[in-house]
Amino acid sequence: MTSSFVRDRPVTEAPSRREPRPAWRSAPGAALVLLGALSPWASAVIPGGAYPGLATLQFFDAPYLVTGFRLHLLLLGLAALLPRASRAAGAGAAVIALVHIAFLAALGVLSFGGPVTLAGGALLIWLGRREPAPEWKLPSRALAWPILVAAFAALLWAVSAMLTAGGQSRATNPHGGAEFLSFLGFAVGLFGILSAYGVLSWLSALAERHRAFSLTVLLACAMLLPLTEAGTGYWMTVASTIGIYAATAIGLNIVVGLAGLLDLGYVAFLGIGAFTAANLAHVVSFPVAALAGAVVAGLLGVVVGAPTLRVRGDYLAIVTLAFGEIFFRAAQNDIGGLTGGANSIPGIPPITLFGQGFDQPVGGLPAGFLYYALTVLLVAGTMAVLANLKHSRTGRAWLAIREDEDVARAMGVRTGRAKILAFLVGATLAGLAGAVFAHKLGTVGYESFDFSESVTLLAAVILGGMGTVPGALVGASLLFVLPEKLREFSDYRLMLFGLALILIMRFRPKGLVSS
Amino acid sequence: MSTLAQQIVNGLVLGALIGLIALGYTMLYGIVQLINFAHGEVFMVGAFGAHFVSLRLLPADTPWYTALPVMCVTAVAVSVAVAVAVERLAYRPLRGAHKLAPLITALGVSILLQEVVRVFYPGATAPLAFPRAFPDGHLVLGPVTVLWTGVLALAVAPLLAAALHLYVERSRLGRAMRATAQDPETARLMGIDPDRVILATFVLGAALAGVGAVLYGIHYTQIDTAIGFQNGIFAFTAAVLGGIGSIRGAMLGALSIGLVKSLAGQYAWGGAQYDYVWVFALLILVLMFRPQGFLGRPERVRA
């Protein structure tokens, strides 16, 4: 069968497919990227000052001062010379170039460095080697712990840099959106390079082996975020909002990712928790209100989950959608005077503990740190619930139901109980997150819980990877950071969501973090 | 008494319009078991296509008997084009994928189409006035008055449903559709190309939705980007209520949905603000207790 394939080659020659491509093949692409990084990017001075910060010719006076995306390009261009790294570095460089070309084109300015870098990136992707990542041996414990600490510290730096990339708003930095997207391109390149050398899978295997230690360090690193560049009241608020949605998405991940029950009205449980806590805010203290929110949401979760005993698959999705819509309409019309209707419920007091208001700065830390710490604990708690349930008897029952309900039942899984339990747990977690949501915002209105929010949460779960523990966190961070960062594109937000859902299902149905 | 009769007629008109969308849902779900959320958007896009051609391309003094057919043809063309594109680009690559994948894709397509129209169609961020391409005035029947456009909807929708029924029962393609719905594997063995059948289903459903869009526009005189999603959910409810896969059932279900919405808005607790809630409650009850609907057969479990 292969005879026609090898006919015109001497029989003695070994198949050349395994032969590595020579390393110099990445040299021209890398050279183009480096040239692009050092070239002028804007053909005119654009509003908001020179672009990028340091005019290109000054570079030769002080090369160590080069910053921003040109520094990223320099780093990627140098990294591209490593044989395995060239494809990922090329992809990162290409993304950065595309972002800035588009940004400059929108301002009516031509770019010279852009096309050069783009060509270099394309060349790198085209000529680069595609090989399976090497596998590394795991080190001993004495080495493993410092390595893990260093890795999580690097992760902390990456999160902080990602959060603050591009600045707070369009008012302070007119190039903010482009700078953020460009940083995202750099991050893609960086993670691609690490993954091509097998570093990421090595680190996650290491973290898996020293699980308790890693979780402690991870939690500590999360608490250290206020000490980084992101340690201002503004970023703390953004981070805690993301945390609340991440916790909700993790709850949804139990229902959709583990049990395979598509819930299209999930945000209603966040709303129920928020409205419950808002109504109780002036009556009882926060822990009681939060508990009440979680319990009420959990009970309604059972009510919504009850039809799962009779309804399956697509029909279940429609039932949950209908429940979500009923909640939305009821909240909109101020049902029983509980939701405030169009006026929403204002004046919810901030959480206080030992006389310390959570919206006030504490010690030398920025205002909002306490809310941030609370949401970190919330996220850590929901992640722990998910991780523990996943490997429990119940979790295995859910996975069995997700794969094939009939077979699961035949194998003795009590499917009805397991499905209702999934709804109960998911709704309770969302209710808890909702209580924090209400107190943090100080006002709760029905608009926060419409269908598009449910879709966003679902998209976060799918984007991150259904059923995985870090998946929902990654997905929620991306989906709730992006609109915050790209306010000038807020009109296109939902459109891009729709497109993203289609593309993910088409090209990466298992999500970014696949199990 | 006169209010009751009036609400019944209003409900029937809404039901007839929803029925035209429900036909597409019922055929498609019968054949590929896909809840095509985007079908409501296909309807909405048709309405905007008709709006565009009437306001931008037709002279202002075009008489209605010219304008209406032109708008219908445009709406059908736009709806069919969008539906075919969606089928080819979004759904076809997913055939044989995990069960949730096409549903989530459908959701994505629905959001994408809504947003594309909202952002790029001039003025679509707010509700748009739909051109009046039919004689004003109404038919008075004792205590009941019906707009002529409502009469048109009540006449055209059942007629189209009947035509579709005949087509599916009698034509060669209709037989292929029924065969594929019954047993796709055997149908394939008998030489039926499932891709062609599915595409034809999309085309037929979209054409009916396009006609429905124009009738909807001239009757309610206002369109916005949300009409697709809302009426799409109602239409899906109608299709389930009538028994998924059944054409007569879809029309029957749609008329019932229209009646429920309009009567609940008048008489039930909470009034017109809660009429949607009653429709959704009905949907939940039907899905739970009679998922095979009025005219459907109980779903058999596929091995």
At residue B85, the pLDDT reads 95
Whether residue A199 is found in the same domain as residue A239: no
Which residue's entry shows tokens 């109780």? A280
* Residue in B99, B240, B280 closest to A313 by CB: B99
Q: Which of A90, A91, A69 has the alpha carbon at shortest distance from A176?
A: A69
Number of domains in chain A: 2
At residue A281, the pLDDT reads 82
Q: Which of A139-153, A238-252, B82-96 has the lowest mean pLDDT?
A: A139-153
Q: Which percentage of chain A shows pLDDT scores above 90? A: 12
At residue A65, the pLDDT reads 58
Q: Which of A47-61, A388-402, B113-127, B242-256 has the lowest mean pLDDT?
A: A47-61
Query: Structural domain boundaries of chain B?
Result: 2-289
| pLDDT (mean) for B92-113 | 85
**Angle between helical axes of A267-280 and A451-464 (0-180°, round to 10):** 120
Q: Give domain status of residue A490, yes or no.
A: yes
pLDDT level of residue A106 (50, 70, 90 thresholds): confident
Distance between CA atoms of residues B160 and B210, nearest Å: 12
Per-position b or e across A346-375, b if 16+ CB within 10 A of its CB: eebebbeeeeeebbeeeeebbbbbbbbbbb
Q: How many CB pairs under 8 A join A and B?
A: 115
Whether residue A483 is found in the same domain as residue A336: yes
The CA distance from A493 to the nearest CA of chain B, in Å, is: 9
Q: Which of A331, A303, A308 has the alpha carbon at shortest distance from A318?
A: A308
Would the pLDDT of A179 be above 70? yes
| pLDDT (mean) for B68-80 | 94
Would the pLDDT of A431 be above 50? yes
At residue A492, the pLDDT reads 79
SS3 category, A49: strand
Asked whether B161 and B23 are in contact (CB, 8 A), the reply is: yes
pLDDT level of residue A274 (50, 70, 90 thresholds): very high
Would the pLDDT of B39 be above 50? yes
Q: Most confidently modeled of A29-38, A100-109, A249-258, A345-354?
A: A249-258
Would the pLDDT of B23 be above 60? yes
Those residues of chain B whose CB sits closer than 8 Å to some CB in chain A are 33-35, 90, 93-94, 97-105, 107-116, 119, 233, 236, 240, 270, 273-274, 276-277, 280-281, 283-284, 287-289, 291, 301
CATH number at residue A451: 1.10.3470
With 0-12 / 13-18 / 19 or more C-beta atoms within 10 angstroms meaning exposed / middle / buried, residue A392 is: exposed
pLDDT in tens, A434-465: 999 998 888 888 888 988 888 888 888 887 77
Asked whether A244 and A307 are in contact (CB, 8 A), the reply is: no
Whether residue A161 is found in the same domain as residue A256: no
Among 3.10.20, 1.10.10, 1.10.3470, 3.90.550, name the CATH number for the domain at B2-289. Answer: 1.10.3470
| pLDDT (mean) for B139-158 | 87
Q: Which percentage of chain B shows pLDDT scores above 70? A: 97
Q: Give domain status of residue A213, yes or no.
A: no
Local structure of residue A39 (DSSP, 8 states): S
At residue A1, the pLDDT reads 38
SS3 category, A434: helix
Asked whether A107 and A175 are in contact (CB, 8 A), the reply is: no
Average pLDDT taken over every residue of chain A: 80
Give the nearest chain B residue to A322 (CA atoms): B280
CB atoms within 10 A of CB A62: 9
Whether residue A193 is found in the same domain as residue A247: no
pLDDT in tens, B213-235: 999 999 998 999 989 988 998 89
| pLDDT (mean) for B146-159 | 90
Local structure of residue B219 (DSSP, 8 states): H
Q: Which percentage of chain A shows pLDDT scores above 70? A: 85
| pLDDT (mean) for A390-413 | 89
Contact A455 B111 (CB under 8 A): yes
Question: Which amino acid, B225?
Answer: T
Asked if the bond preceding A226 is cis, omega within 30° of 0, the reply is no
Whether residue A449 is found in the same domain as residue A336: yes
Q: Give domain status of residue A151, yes or no.
A: yes
Would the pLDDT of A62 be above 60? no
What is the ipTM score, two decimals? Answer: 0.86
The CA distance from B250 to the nearest CA of chain A, in Å, is: 16
Asked whether B261 and B279 are in contact (CB, 8 A), the reply is: yes
Whether residue A152 is found in the same domain as residue A287: no
Q: Cβ neighbours of residue A118 under 8 Å, at least 6 residues apart?
A: A36, A93, A94, A97, A98, A101
Whether residue A241 is found in the same domain as residue A337: yes
DSSP B113-164: HHHHHHHHSTTTTS-EEPP--S---EEEETTEEEEHHHHHHHHHHHHHHHHH
| pLDDT (mean) for A255-278 | 91
At residue B259, the pLDDT reads 92
Q: Give domain status of residue A219, yes or no.
A: no
Whether residue A495 is found in the same domain as residue A379: yes
- Here the tokens at position B180 are 């594929």
At residue B95, the pLDDT reads 81
In chain A, residues with a C-beta closer than 8 Å to the C-beta of B100 are: 256, 260, 262
pLDDT in tens, A143-153: 888 888 888 88
SS3 category, A364: coil
Structural domain span for residue A490: 231-507
With 0-12 / 13-18 / 19 or more C-beta atoms within 10 angstroms meaning exposed / middle / buried, residue A252 is: buried
Q: Give domain status of residue A478, yes or no.
A: yes
At residue A422, the pLDDT reads 93
The CA distance from A129 to the nearest CA of chain B, in Å, is: 28
Give the nearest chain A residue to B36 (CA atoms): A314
DSSP A283-341: TS-HHHHHHHHHHHHHHHHHHHHGGGGT--HHHHHHHHHHHHHHHHHHHHTTGGGSS-G
Give the nearest chain A residue to B229 (CA atoms): A451
